[in-house]
Chain A
């Protein structure tokens, strides 16, 4: 104890005990409190993880039995016949996701650029706010919106309408993650490019985007995982189509002498199906085989979404490790 401390303690009665605390008892109490609190937090952590584990295990156990090659390759068979698969839904989900990506990736990245570059302009603020609001809009409303702007005017349910709805779901994730990544790119890097006389757009494209690329890709992957898992926006947009088959559409198109553009039109503008939508329908079906197939779809969708998430995690971790 220093001289100053001693004179201070003489002047005023110390509130806290001086010197080392040697009481065995105190030590004990603290250790027990510590253990109790630690145990409690551990228990709650475990509790929070239970739903995930439960859902995963249950889905795997129920769904795995009904997965076979036919499930992936065949169109749905009649219930009375039995068997069949959900290749229509797989194709539909892929097509819808591709359409959604085509729309939301360029749009999202460009919007993110603007927001990252001009965060305090009126438009920047509006876009950021709109993105946040959009992320909170119930997905079924987005489905209705796509119905209103596409299904009604075109007079048909279509993969396009589904893709547009899903792209709106994906957009906020892409904008926000890209914006964050662009903001992380050091200012010095920008200046380095601009000081060489590079115009803004070139700096953004050649220097900033590559620097932020890993993060941007992460955001896109998460957005895809989210989009593939959505059902509600598809209810009003794609209708469901047991006979949707890319191979058949292309084949009959070629046979009737359609141009590739026309075939693409046919693919995009036909009613289609999606895994989540099929699962929703089958789960309510009275025939047990349908319900079983719904479980199988649940497993496939879950494995895909979980896989993308884990992969994204792994990539992010590797990037962070590489950076330090």
Chain B
């Protein structure tokens, strides 16, 4: 516990005390099923506007499954179904007549492994806007530059926009993917262990970037790395697997509280490294 305390003292004060804020997304008794198997059981979780919410927990507890429910990525999987309520600005995302394309535009996603398209850097970034009918070169140029600057990648790639995105390093590719998610001007960005395939230096760059993005975007990050959750997030949700293998959320609070004064014994055990 002493050790943990020492680490927590390095958390920037601004991040550790989150001001009262608007709830951007709200999950209420959200369950995800794969066929008959319940992967997530009745998660109730608020996502605060322009804050970073981290979802932590041991492997297999359903963190990614929950995150993917947030922008309806489960729609792609046959026999996956979602129950309960999920809202964005009060609108139900799983309600009738909701266009999944619109949901995914407003709620972007960054994946575990960088997944740039096998195209040029420019085309990777222009892909999203083109989907929504933006075809004017000047507008696209602007958007590309803006999103690359937003992802702190502009200076590194400004001279090679028309080279293959696959030639970039892993960390650069991941920042490209973040930039790509930003091109369609989402309100929420979901990040599924965005640093797990990256080295520490690249990880720090992504974390710095997340702090920047926090000013304009609502961010939800799934991470295995508790230090990362402690370093970057404002709120933390702790998940665990129940004996029936369904994932449930056992605690949600300000990150500082979760790491210093958790209410649940299991959270304490987990954040102090006693298991997991």
User: B-contacting residues of A (Cβ < 8 Å)?
Assistant: 186, 188-189, 191-199, 202, 206-207, 210-211
Docked CA distance A99–B115 (Å):
38
Find out whether the CB atom of B109 lies under 8 angstroms from the CB atom of A197.
no
What secondary structure prevails in chain A residues at the interface with B? helix
Are A197's CB and B128's CB within 8 A?
Answer: yes
Roughly how many angstroms separate A186 CA and B116 CA in the complex, as a whole number?
A: 11
Closest 4 CB pairs of A and B: A188-B115, A195-B109, A197-B104, A197-B105
Q: In the assembled complex, which residues on chain B have CB atoms less than 8 Å from the CB atom of A198?
A: 101, 127, 131
Sample 24 A-B pairs with CB under 8 A, ordered by A number: A189-B118, A191-B73, A192-B117, A192-B177, A192-B180, A193-B127, A194-B73, A194-B76, A195-B71, A195-B73, A195-B111, A196-B108, A196-B127, A196-B180, A197-B101, A197-B102, A197-B104, A197-B131, A197-B132, A198-B127, A202-B131, A206-B127, A210-B117, A211-B117
Which of A189, A192, A199 is packed against the most chain B CB atoms within 10 Å? A192
Contact of A186 among B102, B115, B119 (CB under 8 A): B115
Q: Is the CB of A196 within 8 A of B128?
A: yes
State the CA gap A191–B181 with chains docked (Å): 12
Residues of A within 8 A of B81 (CB): none
Interface residues on B, range: 20 to 34
> Residues on B close to A: CB < 8 A?
71, 73, 76, 101-105, 108-109, 111-113, 115-119, 127-128, 131-132, 177, 180-181, 183-184
* B117 in contact with A207 (CB, 8 Å): yes
Cβ–Cβ contact A188 & B117, under 8 A? no
Chain B residues whose C-beta falls within 8 Å of the C-beta of A196 in the assembled complex: 104-105, 108, 127-128, 131, 180-181, 183-184
Does B184 lie within 8 Å of A193, measured CB to CB?
no
B76 touches A191 (CB 8 A): yes
Give the contacting residue for A195; candidates B102, B104, B113, B119; CB below 8 A.
Answer: B104
Chain A nearest CB from B183 CB (Å) reads 8
CA A196 to CA B184, docked complex, whole Å: 7
Residues of A contacting B117 in the complex (Cβ-Cβ under 8 angstroms): 189, 192-193, 207, 210-211
Residue of A nearest to B184 (CB): A196
Within the complex, the shortest CB–CB distance from A253 to chain B, in Å, comes to 42
Instruction: Decide: A189 and B115 in contact? CB cutoff 8 A.
Output: yes
**A52 CB to nearest chain B CB (Å):** 36
Most chain A CB within a 10 A radius of its CB, from B101, B108, B111, B115: B115
